[in-house]
Amino acid sequence: MNFQSKNESGILPARLNMRKIPAFLFVLYSYVCTTVYAQKTAKIWLDDLTIKSFSEGIPAVLPKTTAAGDSMLINGRYFNRGVGVNATSILAFYLDGKATEFSALVGVDDKGNRDLPHTFYVVADRKVLFDSGEMRLGDAPKPVNVKLNGVKRLGLLVKVNDEGRTKVYSNWANAQLAVLDNYLPQNIPNSDEKYILTPPVAKMPRINSAGVFGATPNNPFLYTIAATGERPMTFSAKGLPKGLSLDEKTGIITGTVTQRGTYPITLTAKNGLGEAKKKLLVKIGDTIALTPPIGWNGWNSWARNIDQQKVMASADAMVKMGLNQHGWTYINIDDAWQGKRGGKFHAIQPNEKFPKFKEMVDYIHGLGLKVGVYSTPMITSYAGYIGGSSDAENGQLTDYIVANKRSFRYVGKYRFETNDAKQMAEWGIDYLKYDWRIEVPSAERMSVALKQSGRDILYSISNSAPFANVKDWVRLTNSYRTGPDIRDSWNSLFVSAFTLDKWAPYGGPGHWNDPDMMIVGNVTTGTQLHPTRLTPDEQYSHVSLFSLLSAPLLIGCPIEQLDAFTLNLLTNDEVIEIDQDPLGKSARLVWEKDGIQIWLKPLEDGSYAVGLFNVGDFGKTPESYFRWGDETAKSFTFDFAKVGLKGKYRLRDVWRQKDIGIFNGSFKTDISHHGVILLRMFPSKN
């Protein structure tokens, strides 16, 4: 008996003589023929996918064009299909063994940076299948054709050392995947257990407010005592300076102080189970933002869809979810609130999405929270709304500017910093995010305008402040963005936060290094609202490092959508206390070896906060840019002497809020991949 079967191309396989093979092989061969051969292969263009959702890099990724939105052009050859990327780019796909091939032509775009070499990699299940070698502008495109049979996870990497330079464009031209049974690639699964470490808050009162607060003489004063514990609760304050009063039911302190000076105050929170006390130093002088701002920003929640209802819902949720009891304060409206110039100051007025702007601000203040807004010295904002300058004396946007808004992202001839600052002060604004490719003159003009506005308005500049001017940012602002916009990926977190050691000496009370918003919860960073792509371990690392860095903590997700894990992540008072420590020192990277980093932060009481991070070999090999699902923890012995600490220390696990003992010289632990052990170290004589 002879058996024949046609494969997909119609070619007959070799005849099998069944007298010469065992029966079970015949059954196996029949199964292969009726399943594998029956599967149909189809080709899909990468640019037909929602390609932004697969990007774990930072800059833009666009289908069918360059990352700048132009036609793809490599060495004089145009391409209509493909994906354009910018700088180091990471595209990650889950294929589940249902793809057979990837093909493309790769190269540096003709409008890209001619000085920088790019290297293209195709990585599949930890194996590098394609390495282009260094490619530069003007090189002919190189063909990519790799087999993917059985591959679960695919990574497309473009590696380039851009160091903040612009127009670093390259292309995956004609990029296609051959897939089985019309399978559509998925995002890399993020199904790790959302393990909760922090115990529930106690019913006894605990005051969680920062221990120091700065305000300017004669300007409105607003400070809320943040306290956890069973309600109802009453508040009192001993030593309040003249001009301030406390609402004993809400813990909100308001008024105006005329006399400069430092005022020691004793705060008390009391409920039916007991009372808590805490010392507060109020410093009335020239410096505000004595601790990093902590609150919420609407951009990564709602982007251009922000409106008055969403803002007020966020403020209500901050109170309802209890975040305000842990010190969370600011409700910041990002780009897309701006309308036209007008009013008595000829300043930017709110658009139709904010019909009762002043009433909204007053409502949020009534909750004991503060309000922030967004602006820019450019003619148009990044979202295309009116900015703080114009080439026309009246400052209004024409129909032409609205239609060509990207062309007006520059500082115009006529500037309106004083107008806008006075309007913000009259509304009661407490925070300004000022956003553009930062230069000193624009930063200084707004700094002066805010200080002369008659209100304390925390001044935060964004984005990618040049490090060369860091002394100017310290002099002029309260916080300054140290890098590009953050994305919900380990790569973006690593670039935004794990590279900040050189900035550390410059951050401190009144002027904070800002790595951007937090990327926990449900976020939208160029795609639709979705759960953060950071694993739970990465999220613990994220919050730990931001706190160690004394960074502004601005939640970037809808507060009302917080799940139990994310809420727990954001309400550990001992972690927040590290961020809000009055000494204001940023942690330093004091040790790095074999994929472990140690960040050390001195605290006001003489103790240290220490983060032991397992960053792996991230960025050192093409494979390290991707998550493969088989990562394991690493055993590590923390030798105190290697970071300059000698003797015995009482160690406290900050996330678990648990003392773990007194250790002499070293401490051994396991650290999850991309995870952290966050410790508080108290010198011990015993």
Cα 106 from Cα 300, distance rounded (Å): 32
HSE of 9, CA atoms in CB hemisphere, 13 A: 3
The letter for the amino acid at 100 is T
Cα 169 from Cα 661, distance rounded (Å): 53
* Helices and strands, number each (H, E), in the chain: 12, 45
What lies within 8 Å, CB to CB, of 220 at 6+ separation is: 254, 255, 256, 428, 455, 456
Do the Cβ atoms of 549 and 600 come closer than 8 Å? no
* Token code pair at residue 636: 């590590």
Q: β-strand 234-238 against 244-246: which pairing, if any? A: unpaired
HSE of 306, CA atoms in CB hemisphere, 13 A: 28
Q: What is the enclosing helix (H) or strand (E) of 152?
A: none
Closest CA to 611 of 535, 541, 673: 541
Give the phi and the psi of residue 620 in degrees, each rounded to 5: -95, -20
Apex 385 CA angle, 294 and 372, nearest 5: 20
Do the Cβ atoms of 108 and 151 come closer than 8 Å? no
Do the Cβ atoms of 465 and 515 come closer than 8 Å? no
Place of tokens 């203040």: 365
48 annotated active-site: no
Cα 679 from Cα 686, distance rounded (Å): 19
Q: From edge to edge, which strands make up the β-sheet containing 261-271? A: 212-215, 274-284, 261-271, 234-238
286 annotated active-site: no
The residue annotated as part of the active site, out of 110, 335, 435, 516, is 435
Cα 364 from Cα 318, distance rounded (Å): 10
Cα 111 from Cα 587, distance rounded (Å): 40
* Token code pair at residue 552: 């502004």
User: What is the DSSP-derived secondary structure letter of residue 611?
Assistant: E
3 state DSSP class of 240: coil
C-alpha 162: how far from chain center = 20
Cα 165 from Cα 504, distance rounded (Å): 22
The residue annotated as part of the active site, out of 307, 456, 485, 514, is 485
Do the Cβ atoms of 180 and 100 come closer than 8 Å? yes
3 state DSSP class of 498: coil
Do the Cβ atoms of 205 and 229 come closer than 8 Å? yes
User: What is the DSSP-derived secondary structure letter of residue 14?
Assistant: P
CA dihedral defined by 290, 582, 549, 214, rounded to 10 degrees? -10
Closest CA to 616 of 681, 671, 682, 574: 671
Closest CA to 82 of 3, 5, 156: 156
The letter for the amino acid at 307 is D
Closest CA to 585 of 493, 678, 512, 487: 512
Place of tokens 């970037």: 556
Cα 488 from Cα 486, distance rounded (Å): 7
Give Cα separations from 73 to 78, 91, 167 (angstroms). 5, 21, 14
Apex 528 CA angle, 405 and 572, nearest 5: 110
- Burial letters 517-526, b for 16+ CB under 10 A, else e: bbbbbbbbbe
**Active-site residue numbers?**
435, 485
